[in-house]
Every structure is written in C-alpha cells, then in structure tokens.
Structure 1
Amino acid sequence: MAKINKFMPARTHEGAKGRAFGPEQELRRAVMNSLLWEDQFYENGVSIAERIAGLVPAVAPETVVEIAISAREDMKLRHVPLLIVREMARHPEHRKLVADTLARIIQRPDELTEFLAIYWMDALGSMQQRKKAAVSAQAKKGLARAFTKFDAYQLAKYDRDGAVRLRDVLFLVHPKPKDAEQEKVWKQLAEGTLASPDTWEVSLSAGADKRETFERLIAEKKLGALALLRNLRGMQVAGVPKRTIAAALNDMRVDRVLPYRFIAAARFAPDLEPELEKAMFRSIEGHAQLTGKTTLLVDVSGSMSWEMSRQSVMTRLDAACGLAVLAREVCKDVEIFTFSNEVVKVPPRRGFALRDAILASQPHGGTQLGAAVAKVDRKGRRLIVFTDEQSHDRVEAPKGLGYMVNVASYQHGVGQGDWQRIDGFSEKILDWIIASEAR
C-alpha cells in the first residue's frame, strides 16, 4: 500500500526545491504575469486560470480588489482582472465590492463585452442560451457605470462582431446617460448607425491604398508611438519611403515607450535600427538614476524565448534585453551577466549592441539559477535577477539587496530568505526599485 501521510515539498517545474506561498502571495504571483488561457512553457493556460479562480475566495475581499486594480492599472493586463471580478461575484463576502471594482478596471469598451463573455463562459448551451443566465445586480451596476466612460469615437472603434456586442451590454444593464449627447450616441449604437472612426485599422480594412493611408496618417500625426512601431514592416512592404518613416520616428513622442518596444520593432525592421536606437535613447533621457553598484542577471534559458502572448511578437527575452538596455543607462555602476547552463559576463555595450551581446552570449538551454546567483552575488552590490523562476538547483538568500523579477505565472518559485519579489513584468521595474530604496 502506498504511503500518503508524508511531507511533500514544493518543487519548481524543473525539479528544484521551490517556495510555497500563502493564498495572497500565490494569487498575486499567478495574476501579475497571467495572459488568460494562453499556454506557457511549463503550464497550460487553463490550469493557471483555474488556480486564480480557486484562490479568490481564500483571500480577503479588499486584497483581491487591490490585486485586480494593480493588474489592470500597473501591469496593463486586461482579461485577468475581469476573471477576478467574475469570481468575486460568486462569493457573498466579495460580491459587495464588485460594482466599484468593475467600474474602475474597465478602461476600454471591448472590456464590457469581454466581461460578459467570461461571466457566461461556464453556462451550458449556445451563446443565446447563455445570455439568459442571470447577471448579478452588482455586476450590472459596475457595467452601467463603466459604460458612461466612453464617447462616440471609442464606442465605434470597439463595436466589433462577436458573440456579445456592445448593444447587448447596453440592453442588459440600462445605463443612465450623463447628458443628451450621450443618450444620442447610445441610440446610434443600438441602431447600428455610429460613424466609423478615422483610425489606421479602419482605413486599411476599408480597402484604401496602404501607402497613401500610412503617409496621410503620418502627415496628420494620427499614428501614436506604439501604432507606428507596430506597423513599421507593413509600411515598408507598402512602399512608404524610408525617409518618411525615419522622420516619423524622429518626431514621435517617446516619453511612454520603454526600450523593449524598440527591440521588438527592430526585429521586423532591421534596416531602421539606427533610427529606432536614436528614438530609444531619447526615451531614456532624464530617467532617474540608480546609485550604487548593481549586478543584473538575465535568464536566457529556453523558456525565456516564448512570446509574452499569442498576439505579441515580443518574447520574455526581448523584455529582459529592454530592461538591460535601460539599466545600462540609468545605473551608476552596472555589471550584466546572462545565465542558462553557464554564467557569462556581457561586455559593457549600449543599445542594440547590448541586446546582440545578450542574445549571442550562450545557447538557450537549461536553468542553473542557484549556481548563477552564487557566482555573481557579492556584498556591497544590489542584485536584480530577471527570470521565470524555474531552476534545477536551490537559490540561496542574497548577500545584500536582492530583487527577483518573475515574468511567469508558475505556481512555485525559487529564492529563499530576503529576496524582494517583483511578480510581473512592468515598464516601471527600475522606477519602483529607485523609489523603494529612497523610502
């Protein structure tokens, strides 16, 4: 007979002794990197979503609300906060906070429809049958308040085909318009007569000449920084002159764009690297400095090569390279190492040259995180580790200030002792460290 009355230590997916977390820590960890229902290297998306749903009732309602808001506003995640609120609606103690939370975390019109799709996901039958399933009063109140946030342009932009349409939400929750103009817009939404917004997506899908459309949008400054970066390859294929694209990159606002965005863009427009690098350095100008001595340890194992999401061309390693580029510029004294099966010191290059050095530093193999930390960690230096926290070996406590930046939603992590844990990749990681140490 098998013995089941025995201690079962937490293990990472790679087999190392891991760290088990309490319900709040585990929920925060699972949420902050979660792209719902998308499989990751070691765990499938359904398991992650089920784990999040199971943890919500085990955590205090106010804490669950704080996690949902942080996921939406700080980590810029869209679906997982909606799942959290849907699970809150299932439990009496959490349900009373649903309306306020939902009204806050919904920041785009399509999140109204996504919430209802998630809400009805467990119901059996066709979507028409699911729509008859009762929606809680708190959820209706939150949706109604959120609906008033959006103007005609936003509603038209996100009034897309789908099992749940914006008009379905309108008819279900009966929001109260703020004024006569909003009431008129909602009537047009219900009747399907809202004017199409002038966006690059609409212009191109309408069959307009792509080169002329891109040139017009650039001239009229209707392409934001992220839209410009995402469409570089399309512009080149359409025949937009390189000088026109280069001028747009030179003129675009970069105050909200961090290095990893430029790194992802350069993969598809390598001949624009000089212009992209110039814009990237502009985005870093004036950034607060991180004083003291810093060691940045970057995971380049195989699992770090996975895309951040199905819709993204950016990998976890792209994000890590972006953080390294930023650290190279804002840290007074920084050494950069990569680790996989080995530990390799990266030469002190800048910009895209630093990215190239990181990517070429060693094969993307297994993960010996404990050995890597032991080799590079020294007293008197802060250590920042950028990883998915999987390892074959144990990771000891840092000798000084140690930050474990985790970019995956896996259940068990590594790192015992006094590590400062940052769950989730954010554009503000170094800003948080600077502010935290200042306090």
Structure 2
Amino acid sequence: MARFNTRTAKAQPASPVTTTGRVLRTHEGGRGRERDPRSELFLLAVSHLVSQQTFYESGTARDQRFVRLVRELAVADPSWTAGLLGWLRGEGNIRTAAVVGAAEYVKARLDAGATDGPANRQVVASVLRRPDEPGELLAYWTATYGRAVPKPVKRGIADAVRRLYTGKALLKYDTASKGYRFGDILNLVHAAPDPDKPWQGELFQYALDRRHHPETALPPASDRVLTAHRALMALPVAERRAVVTSADGAERLAEAGMTWEALAGWLQGPMDKAAWEAVIPSMGAMALVRNLRNFDEAGVSDEVAARVAARISDPAEVARSRQFPFRYLAAYQHAPSLRWAYPLEQALRHSLASVPALPGRTLVLVDRSGSMFYSRLSDRSELTRADAAAVFGAALALRAEHADLVEFGTSSNAVPFRKGESVLKVLGRFGDLGGTDTVAAVRRHYRRHDRVLIVTDEQYAPSGYGDPTEQVPAHIPVYTWNLAGYRAGHGPSGTGNRHVFAGLTDAAFRMVPLLEAGRDAAWPWQRDVAA
C-alpha cells in the first residue's frame, strides 16, 4: 500500500520568517521561540519607529537591538540586508528605520573591511526617496559617528541629491528649522549637477547662495516655480488675501509651489474658507486626508468638499500615496462631518487591496490586550497597534467566504459583522480586554476551521496547554501577523503549516494564498526573483 504517493500528497511550503527551535520566554512568561537573525530583524524593522517606547521594550533597547542586527547581517549577509533596506523605504514605506539601517550597514562594513555584496554607495542612495532624507541621513551619521563622513556615504547622498533636488523640493524642505540645509549638504558631498538636467547647476548655486547669502540670493530665471514664489513673497501683506480670493488664485499658488503649511505664514493670518479653497487643488491626497477637520472648521463649500472626497477615495490616488490603512481610520475618528465617512471607507478598502477573499472557514483572532494599546503607531497619531490589528482583522473577516472574528485579551469575544458592512463600522465594536491569554482564545473559538489567523504582538501569558499554535491540528495552517517585532515568537514558524508575517500594510496577506497553493513564500523584495 502506498504511504506517501497518494492523491492527497502535496508539498509542505516554507515561509521566510523562521524559528530556530531554541526556546525563549515571551515578555509575559509564555513559552516562546527564538527566530533566526534575519527573521528577527525583518519583524523588528517593519514595526519599528526609531526611539519609540513599547509596552515591553524601551525605545533605546529597541534601537540598540535594531542596530546590532543590521550591523551583524550587513557583514554576514550583505545582499539580503541591502534588499531589506531598499524595500523597507520603498514598498514598506518606513523612512527612519531605513535611513538608520543604511548608515549602520555602511559603518559595519567599513569597520569590518568587507568588500563583497552591494556597494555601500548604492545602499545609501536606495533609502533616500524624499528630498529631506539626504539631510536626515547626514544628521544621523554626524550625530552618531562625528563629522568625518566616509566617501561611500557622501557619494550615495550625492546620487540622491541629483535625483531629488528641484525648485519645488527646495521650497518645501529647505527651511530654517533644519540643521543641514540644502546648501550645507551640497558643500559636504560635492554633488555635481545631473548632466541630463541642465537647470540643476543654477538650482544648486541658488541653494548655496540662499544658505550663505540669503539677503542677495536670487532664484534662477529658468525655474518658474522659484521665480513665481519670489513674486508672491514680494507682495505686501495687505495685498496677499486678494490673491487667494481671485479667480486665478489657486493657479498662482500652485505655480509658486505654495504648500498649505506655508500659506498661513505667508498670509500672516488665519486659514479661512477662501485660503483653504485656493490651496486644496494643489494639495496631495494624504495632505487632504489629514486636513478634513480643518476644512470643516473653515466652512469649505460642499462643491469643494465633493472634489476632495473624489480625490481621497480614488483608487489610483490611494495606491500612489502608499499610506498605511490605519491613516484613514485616524482621519475618520477626527473629522467631525459625515460627508467624509463614505469616501474614507472607500479609501480604506482600496488601501486593503491585497487582502485575499479566503475560501472555506477562517478564524480571525485580534489581540486587544493592554500591550497592544500602549504605544502609538507614529508620533503624529493617537492610533495604536490595537487599532491596526482591528483594521486588518476586520478587513480579512469581511473578505473571507466564511469567517469568525474574535477579539481577545484576558477574555475573548466574538465580534459581530455582516457581509458587505463598512470596515469602519465594525471597528467600533472592538474593546480593550486587558491581558494576553491567546491559548484560551484559540481553544475556545477554534471549531474545525480551515485556517487560523492571529493578529498580535505574540507576548502571550503561560498556560498548561502549550503555545497558541499547538491548540490547532498540525494539518491546519496557523498564520501569525506580528505587529510589534519583539524577539520571542509565540510558536514555531517557517514550515509545517505554521507561518509568521508582519508589517503595517496589508501586503503580507499575499503570502496566505501562496502558501495554501503549496508554493514557498519569499522575502518581499525577492518575490519577482522567486516567481
């Protein structure tokens, strides 16, 4: 009789986040699993906001762990580490960790005398995607390692400067609040103008002049944005309100690269209805989302509001903005008018485009313990990891063929929802449930489901029944979505129907159908290669 070559036989797929088999303890004392260094760094990187305190780890401790792992892997596995850093700033859309990681990557390799793998210069340039980021990396390097900046760092920054510096970028980011102005950076890295951008030489000279001789600096006549901006700045204050109320006011502000942040200072007065309506056409999608409350308070007209609503809910705009889904939840919570509710719901759904419609029966467990509420997702937001977990869990349940949605902490409860219901409406049914008894939640709610997904920080309390993944039969997949990046996992991962993924976007969900189809899942930046 055949034991292995049967009709039901299929390959057991592997996933990249892998445990070593060594037993650790979670911060709550549960039996945890150690991850290999690459897995630990990945989970930490996609959830790490530099210097941010978490419930179980200080900001300093997390920063030190992040730096130690980057430096170790920069020497041991430079190609993988360079791939992580470039992806982190690109598709991952995480700025500060990528910038810090690139600096530490270069420092570790210079200290070790390593010459294999991707060039240090290339790694530096790959994480600089916004015009203020060359200054961020330079400031980090000099604050950490002194004013002697090595050539690979200078050359990588210079490559980014040529790619990123424009007249509009100078107006937005070259401000007096910065320690390193555009002119300082040009002096330090000696960036030559891009030969394909004949206007850039004059721009660089203007950046130097306005840094060192602002009283006599004149923008190049070839740069229409800078010359239009200078003309607006030259207007007497008493005449500036007339610009925003004129028929061509919105066009003049856009031509001059006037941002909404700068407009109030230019007007030297409040941002009233006319001011907002003049600058709204030139605002980016996420700037619009962040200012919905301000639009309401200023009394922006319904006609203008309708145009705002159309932009923020446009699928292409949502994809282009690359914002985290929970940004739309934050806007929904802070915008007082109901006219924004449906556009934000649409935008949230578009931002969750990677959530699969899973077949069969799915158990979705969302961690609502105290540790998930402790730290904010960013310095600008009041939202927590508990909020992010609820967003992802609710979206997954609403898309699945048949799903049971459960919140858990010290206790656990089913979260009711109906097919086709608003994600934002479902989120209002989640609560704060104290401790982290993940094992009890799985044992109580698992009823022969086809798969289990747990959205959590993995720091469960001990029980007499083993780890949370052991409560589910071995042939049933258990997917853990880690939102905190602590060292110890709550169960094995990488093989045997036990897998972990992470991040603050829905992109990780792409792994689930892949693994259930019997295909191995690669690191996100290696997907095209694997395919």
TM class, shorter-length: 0.7 to 0.9
Residue identity opposite 1:266 in structure 2:
Y
Does residue 353 in structure 1 map to residue 375 in structure 2?
no
- Tell me what 1:413 maps to: 489
The CA distance in 2 between the partners of 1:277 and 1:26, in whole Å, is: 34
Counterpart check, 1:156 vs 2:171: yes
Residue 265 in structure 1 maps to residue 331 in structure 2:
yes
Task: Indicate the residue corresponding to 2:443 in structure 1.
Answer: 374
Contact 1:337 1:344 in 2 (8 A): yes
Partner of 2:298: 238
Q: Alpha-carbon deviation of 1:94?
A: 6.7
User: Corresponding residue for 2:278?
Assistant: 216
Where does residue 426 of structure 1 map in the other structure? 505
Aligned mate of 1:93, from 111, 114, 126: 114
1:175 and 1:436 mapped to 2: Cα distance? Answer: 46
Alignment partner of 1:167 out of 183, 195, 201: 183
Tell me, which stretches of 5 or more residues in structure 1 are unaligned? 1-7, 124-129
- Structure 2 unmatched runs, 5+: 1-21, 211-216, 220-225, 230-256, 520-531
Q: Which amino acid aligns with 2:159?
A: R
Matched, 1:102 2:127: no
Q: Percent identity?
A: 28
2:154 equivalent to 1:78: no
Are the structure 2 counterparts of residues 22 and 170 from structure 1 closer, same or farther at C-alpha, using a change threshold of 3 Å?
same
* Counterpart in the other structure of 2:350: 283
Which letter does structure 1 place at the counterpart of 2:102? Answer: V
Q: Which amino acid aligns with 1:227?
A: A
Residue 395 of structure 1 is matched in structure 2 by: 468
Aligned match of 2:202: 184
Between 334-343 and 280-289, the greater mean CA deviation after superposition: 280-289
Cα shift at 1:9: 5.1
Query: Which amino acid counterpart does residue 44 of structure 2 have in structure 1?
Result: A
1:318 Cα offset (Å): 2.4
Q: Which residue of 2 aligns with 1:42?
A: 56
Rounded Cα–Cα distance in structure 1 between residues aligned with 2:133 and 2:115: 21
- TM-score under structure 1 length normalisation: 0.87
Give the CA deviation at 1:367.
0.7
Residues 280-304 of structure 1: per-residue CA shift (max 9 Å, x gap): 4763798763333322111111222
SS in 2 for 1:294: strand
Give the TM-score normalised by the residue count of structure 2.
0.73
Match of 1:404 among 472, 476, 480: 480
1:298 corresponds to: 366
What amino acid is aligned across from residue 261 of structure 1 in structure 2? R
Greater Cα offset, 259-268 or 29-38: 259-268
Paired AA for residue 260 in structure 1: F
Q: Are the aligned partners of 1:406 and 1:422 in contact in 2 as well (CA < 8 Å)?
A: yes
**Contact 2:25 / 2:33 at 8 angstroms: preserved in 1?**
yes
CA distance in 2, matches of 1:312, 1:182: 37
Residue 228 of structure 1 corresponds to which residue in structure 2?
Answer: 288
Q: Does 1:54 align with 2:68?
A: yes
Out of 32, 54, 64, the residue aligned to residue 18 of structure 1 is 32
- Kindly indicate whether the alpha-carbon contact (under 8 Å) linking 1:74 and 1:426 is maintained by their aligned counterparts in 2: no
Query: Whole-Å Cα distance in 1 between the matches of residues 352 and 482 of structure 2?
Result: 27
1:423 offset after TM fit, Å?
2.6
Q: Cα deviation per residue 1:266-287 (whole Å; 9 max; x = unaligned)?
A: 1112432643455347637987
C-alpha spacing 1:323/1:39, structure 2 compared with 1 (3 Å): same
Mapped to 2, the partners of 1:315 and 1:348 lie a distance apart of: 22
Whether the 8 Å contact between 1:225 and 1:254 is mirrored in structure 2 is no
Three-state SS of the structure 1 residue aligned to 2:31 is coil
- Of 260, 267, 278, the match for 1:200: 260
Pair 1:135 & 2:214 matched: no
The structure with the largest alpha-carbon Rg is 2
Q: What SS class does the counterpart of residue 93 from structure 1 fall into?
A: coil
Question: Structure 1 residues 270-279 or 375-384, which shifts more?
Answer: 270-279
Shift of 1:381: 1.7
In 2, distance between residues paired with 1:120 and 1:50?
A: 18
Contact 1:367 1:392 in 2 (8 A): yes
Q: Distance in 2 between matches of 1:136 and 1:364?
A: 51
Q: 1:11/1:310 Cα in 2 relative to 1: closer, same or farther (>3 Å)?
A: same
SS at match of 2:469: coil
Aligned in 2, Cα 1:281/1:43: closer, same or farther, shift over 3 Å?
A: closer
